């Protein structure tokens, strides 16, 4: 019982601590960049201040979700078992990693927006719109992690044994680790998009649709991780052993790391393309086709990871 309590309260702590760590770092990055931009261009104060408040509020949203989740863990009325406690670690992994990664990634968009507004003060409304949209799309991992956390809670409440707790841990790791790669990719790409608008405001009409399309593509590895997380969570475990649950954890690590490489690679590719569009908008069609072709090859990495992951799951 003591071990279950230690794991239980550690899960609540980690849920909030990891998200707060990322949120604090992210808000610091955003604030420092905005202050530097205002110093460089004092006339951009009003626009930069408004963008900063919006940006900080969106960065804070991940922490709020983590807080709600931590309170749900602490004040759960379900009788505590070692299985439930281990399952709650899965909730901590999903929410903590997603919230922390998204908060830090989101700050890079705010930083790039501040730089662009200082360069183009009279184009600040467009830059702020791009920043707001980019941050909103970035919140997807946190929302998905929260949904999966609720599913894990339902699963372990109905099946409080250790085997099902490890199953919940595996599902949480799949989504939590799967959130890190898309967050990194989004940070790399969207800050390049915001900087591109600041460099050449005439390229806005080309950069904006390009950004929407590539942001959606960068998020696709997370969809694979969500699918695997749900398959793991609801995989029948009749007659299964603890060693079988460890195979599920291995499967979660496989898809999570696959998403990390895939989404990061797409982010680097897309950022270089958007820089080219900003420098020469006439190359939009060529760069778009080239980027989509390269992305198709990069996406094959997550497909390979998913094949291996499904093969692992079928061993259980």
Q: CA nearest 200: which of 272, 285, 127, 291?
A: 127
Q: Tens digits of per-residue pLDDT, 80-112?
A: 899 999 999 999 999 999 999 999 999 999 999
115 vs 135, 230, 274, CA distance in Å?
Answer: 16, 41, 17
Contact 267, 185 (CB under 8 A): yes
Site of tokens 């109905």: 158
What is the Cα–Cα distance from 8 to 84, expressed in whole angstroms?
Answer: 8
3-state SS, residue 292 = helix
**CA diameter of the chain:** 69
Q: Tens digits of per-residue pLDDT, 131-183?
A: 999 999 999 999 999 999 999 999 999 888 888 999 999 999 999 999 999 99
Q: Angle 303-305-310 (CA atoms, 0-180°, nearest 5)? A: 95
Query: Going by C-beta distance under 8 Å and a sequence separation of 6 or more, which residues neighbour residue 156?
Result: 83, 84, 87, 88, 164, 165, 168
DSSP assignment letter at 78? S
Q: Which CATH superfamily is domain 2-314 in?
A: lithium bound rotor ring of v- atpase (1.20.120.610)
Q: What is the pTM of this model?
A: 0.91
Query: Going by C-beta distance under 8 Å and a sequence separation of 6 or more, which residues neighbour residue 137?
Result: 186, 215, 216, 219
What is the Cα–Cα distance from 209 to 239, expressed in whole angstroms?
Answer: 51
What is the Cα–Cα distance from 191 to 237, expressed in whole angstroms?
Answer: 44
Q: If you compute the radius of gyration of the chain from its CA atoms, what whole number of angstroms results?
A: 21
Q: Tens digits of per-residue pLDDT, 199-248?
A: 888 888 999 999 999 999 999 999 999 999 999 999 888 766 788 888 99
Neighbours of 25 (CB within 10 A): 15
Contact 173, 90 (CB under 8 A): yes
Contact 67, 13 (CB under 8 A): no
pLDDT band of 32, cuts 50, 70, 90 = very high
Please state the domain extents for the chain. Answer: 2-314
pLDDT for 185 beyond 90: yes
């Amino acid at each position: 019982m003591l071990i279950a309590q230690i794991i239980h309260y550690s899960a609540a702590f980690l849920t909030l601590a990891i998200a707060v760590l990322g949120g604090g770092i992210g808000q610091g990055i955003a604030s420092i960049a905005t202050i530097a931009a205002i110093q460089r261009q004092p006339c951009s104060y009003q626009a930069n201040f408004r963008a900063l408040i919006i940006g900080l509020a969106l960065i804070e949203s991940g922490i709020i979700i983590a807080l709600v989740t931590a309170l749900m863990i602490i004040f759960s009325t379900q009788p505590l078992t070692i299985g439930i406690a281990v399952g709650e670690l899965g909730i901590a992994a999903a929410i903590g990693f997603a919230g922390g990664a998204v908060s830090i990634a989101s700050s890079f968009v705010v930083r790039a927006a501040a730089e662009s507004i200082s360069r183009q003060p009279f184009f600040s409304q467009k830059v702020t719109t791009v920043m707001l949209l980019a941050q909103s799309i970035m919140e997807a991992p946190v929302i998905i992690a929260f949904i999966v956390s609720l599913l894990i809670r339902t699963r372990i409440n109905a099946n409080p044994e250790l085997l099902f707790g490890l199953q919940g841990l595996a599902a949480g790791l799949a989504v939590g680790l799967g959130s890190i790669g898309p967050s990194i990719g989004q940070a790399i790409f969207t800050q390049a998009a915001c900087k591109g608008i600041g460099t050449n405001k005439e390229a806005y009409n080309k950069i904006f649709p390009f950004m929407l399309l590539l942001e959606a593509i960068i998020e696709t590895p997370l969809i694979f991780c969500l699918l695997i997380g749900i398959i793991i969570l609801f995989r029948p475990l009749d007659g299964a052993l603890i060693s079988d649950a460890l195979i599920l954890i291995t499967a979660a690590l496989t898809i999570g790391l696959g998403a990390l490489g895939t989404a990061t690679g797409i982010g680097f590719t897309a950022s270089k393309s958007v820089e080219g569009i900003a420098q020469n908008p006439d190359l939009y069609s060529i760069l778009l086709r080239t980027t989509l072709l390269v992305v198709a090859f990069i996406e094959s990495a997550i497909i390979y990871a998913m094949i291996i992951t499904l093969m692992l799951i079928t061993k259980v």
